[in-house]
C-alpha cells in the first residue's frame, strides 16, 4: 500500500541493491559530498528538467508564425463565442 506523503516528514527511504549503493557512495566521495547531498542534488536537477518539460510548449517555426499571426489578426467572433460572452455574469 503506498504511503501518503507527509509535509512534516523530512525523511525519505529508498531500497537499492548493495552494488548500486556502493556506486552512489563512490560517486559521492569523488564529488567530496555526502551520499544524501549527492542523491539530492541529482534528483533536484532532474526534477526541474521534468517540470520544465511538462510546463513548456515547443512550437515549430511554422506554428510559431501561425500563433503570432492569430494574435495580430484574430478571427471574428463566431456565434458560439458570442453566446458564451452573452452568458457571462455581468460585473457589479
Domain boundaries, the chain: 18-87
Residue pair 64/72 in contact (Cβ under 8 Å)? The answer is no
DSSP secondary structure, 33-59, as one string = S-HHHHHHHHHHHHHHHHHHHHH----
pTM for this model (two decimals): 0.58
pLDDT along the chain (92 residues), means of 10: 64 92 97 96 97 93 96 95 92 80
Amino acid at each position: 500500500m503506498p504511503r501518503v506523503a507527509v509535509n512534516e516528514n523530512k525523511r525519505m527511504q529508498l531500497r537499492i541493491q548493495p552494488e548500486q549503493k556502493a556506486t552512489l557512495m563512490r560517486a559521492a566521495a569523488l564529488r567530496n559530498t555526502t551520499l544524501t547531498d549527492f542523491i539530492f542534488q541529482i534528483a533536484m536537477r532532474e526534477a526541474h528538467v521534468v517540470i520544465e518539460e511538462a510546463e513548456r510548449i515547443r512550437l515549430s517555426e511554422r506554428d510559431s508564425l501561425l500563433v503570432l499571426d492569430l494574435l495580430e489578426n484574430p478571427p471574428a467572433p463566431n456565434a458560439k463565442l458570442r453566446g458564451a460572452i452573452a452568458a457571462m455574469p455581468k460585473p457589479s
